[in-house]
Chain A
Amino acid sequence: MVLVIGAALTPFNRRRDGSGFRDWAAQAFSDALRMAGLEPGDIDALIVSSESDFFTLQLNPASVIAQDIGLCGAETLRVEGGGGSGQYAVHVGVERILSGRAQRVAVLGVDPSASALDGDSIRELYGYSFDFWTDGLSGITATGLYALSWQAFAAEYGAAGTDLDRVATKNRCNACENPGAHLPRIHTAEEFEASPVIASPYKRLHCSPLSDGAAALILSAREAAPALRQTRAPAITGIGAASDLPGLGHRKSLGRFEAKSLAAKRAYEMAGISASAIDLAEVYDAYVGAELQAIAALGLSADPVAALRDGRFDADGACPINLSGGLIGQGAPVGATGVGQAATCALLLEGRYHKGLQPERPLGHALADTHGGVGTSCAVTVLRAGGQA
């Protein structure tokens, strides 16, 4: 049994205060460690998620972060899986404990995706997230690839352009209650209409921002956790990952995230539940349409378009999706994204989340979903509320 005894996120935004990624990493770790009631010397291993050395300009970032947070001597490791890096780092941390190699693990995600480089440079680097030798030789951007995949999905599921606006509105409204969110906004129909087209049908308002930030988890074997945390802390009960062909055209379905479905199936099986047991989810919405593609792939709705229109995924709906605001509203410091999703789920399950977003009803299970590429490298984590057998 792996418990989440500490969870913290720094604000996700564009930093203009002179702080750097090492400051944010130290802050997230310190906050999570305090929640856990531990000292640095209690930590056996540090798993760091950072998508690209080009963002941090630091090979082996885990070593310098370990130095900064007093973990020298602990095992240090950096995990990378594109946009999915953070969730993969969570999985590695869980596996360290399940294997018996560690009792308490810090998982730390961080990236300076907004302030270190200009937007065009970051977008060029993201272009290397795809197969450089095939799709990459077309010069296509991430937005272009997601736009092509969305069109196939929209045709199959009967989605309209207004559904893209609806997802953006939902997530950025949620972000208004999240003091750490990058884009707390309430958009008007006129703003959507006027938003410039980046790659049709995606407009700028349908894209997640580039953000700075960090997130941290303290994972522990139940028997190694402080007594108070043993009873209250949520548990990670299922992890699953899977991959698809990087080239969109090679896939059996252009619009379906089939690797995500496989990753979710593996996570549900490990947790001993089905998708219907999930009370809320943080899913990977780098683009608004990808949220609906993810919901379908994760089995959270057979008709995600109709369910979206019915309000099922709203903050007060039956299965809230991206209460944090998601990447669209909360922001996207890539290496921190997956760790932040799992941290958000843990805080929600324990009733510690932001007041305006914490559901009043009791929660059983939550799901965190992240991917690299366009649904290429998929990692899914299932968490269960504390105090349950």
Chain B
Amino acid sequence: MKHQVSLDYSLAEGWLAPWIEGLRQGKAIASHCKTCGGAQFPPLRVCPDCRTPSDGWVTLSGRAAIQWRTTGADGDFAVAKFEGAHGATVLRSAHLPPHAAHGRLRACAEGPPILQLEPEPDL
């Protein structure tokens, strides 16, 4: 028996709205812990070290150092640590050269927000 379900979600961004808007603009918006001063990117509502609720947002430089990469049929992805962030994040790395050590957060004004890196501009 064949059966088809089509779903069209409208997802409220809630407390993550600044983070989502940052991805659209190519700005690395991190949550800030008032106790330890750490910045989490991606944001965390509660600091994992202090267990203190975050008290706002800080904007990071958007530059990230690549730690690990994976490529294959499923796409190109990396773990990277953004300057000023406490931890690292998983993101798409398809726009980066294979051996790039750094990248910048890439804006995605069109379509859904995507967490991805692009090459750093030539200095």
Contacts and interface: CB of A to CB of B under 8 A. Distances in A.
Contacts of A141: 74-75
B112 to A, nearest CB: 8
A138 B77 contact: yes
Interface string B54-95: 000000000000011111111101111100000111111000
A138 B90 contact: yes
Given A200-B70, A250-B40, A134 B89 contact: yes
B68 A138 contact: no
B74 A57 contact: no
Interface string A122-147: 00000000010111011111011101
A141 B116 CA distance: 14
A138 B72 contact: no
Contact of A254 (B5, B68, B69): B68
A213 to B, nearest CB: 20
A250 B41 CA distance: 8
A88 interface: no
A342 to B, nearest CB: 31
A247 B40 CA distance: 11
Contacts of A201: 70
A107 to B, nearest CB: 29
A247 B74 contact: no
Contact of B115 (A137, A196, A248): A137
Contacts of A186: none
A148 B79 contact: yes
A333 B19 CA distance: 36
B42 interface: yes
B103 to A, nearest CB: 13
Contacts of B74: 140-141, 143-144, 198-199
Interface of A: 57, 131, 133-135, 137-141, 143-145, 147-148, 151-152, 196-202, 245, 247-251, 254
